[in-house]
Amino acid sequence: MAGYAGSCACGAIQYEFAVEPVGSGHCQCRGCQRATGTGHSAGLLVPKSAFKLTGTPKLYERGADSGGKVSNAFCEKCGTPLYCVSTSMADIVFVRVGSLNDPSGFTPQMVVFAESGHAWDHMDPSLPKFPKSPPMDKK
């Protein structure tokens, strides 16, 4: 079983999860661009039930293209983006890879919201790209 941990830059907020992520990728939506201050966010999709948090992040809620809401979690003291949650995928936490203690093992599987990407933000051309969200398996 995997063991992952991360924190904000000042250490006020820490998290861990002991399961393999259910997905990974880059998001080029405008919300992620603004939340990270660059062309995309890199994230791991983690079951909410496995995500253990210490500390209290500040949440910024915004509208999502799906019609739902996305809440971006960040440290109020140092500003580090940590994760986000979406009402359209209520059981998943999108962990910001840059906040992991060891982000070196990150392997993206796709690029979502590629239609909002910028020419200067180069993505791996071998990754599948979706103009918006990929089709979701509805069970």
Q: Tell me, yes or no, whether 139 lies in a domain.
A: no
Domain count, the chain: 1
Q: Which whole number is the average pLDDT over 91-120?
A: 96
Q: Tell me, yes or no, whether 129 lies in a domain.
A: no
Q: Tell me, yes or no, whether 132 lies in a domain.
A: no
Q: Tell me, yes or no, whether 29 lies in a domain.
A: yes
Provide the residue range defining the domain that includes 36: 4-116
What does the pLDDT look like over 119-139, one tens digit per residue? 999 999 999 999 988 766 544
Specify the CATH number for the domain of residue 59: 2.170.150.70
Report pTM: 0.90
* DSSP assignment of 84-130: EEETTEEEEEEEEGGGBS-GGG-----EESGGG--TTS---TTS-B-
What does the pLDDT look like over 64-102, one tens digit per residue? 766 789 999 999 999 999 999 999 889 999 999 999 999
CA distance 16 to 138: 28
Sign of CA dihedral 118, 94, 62, 57: negative
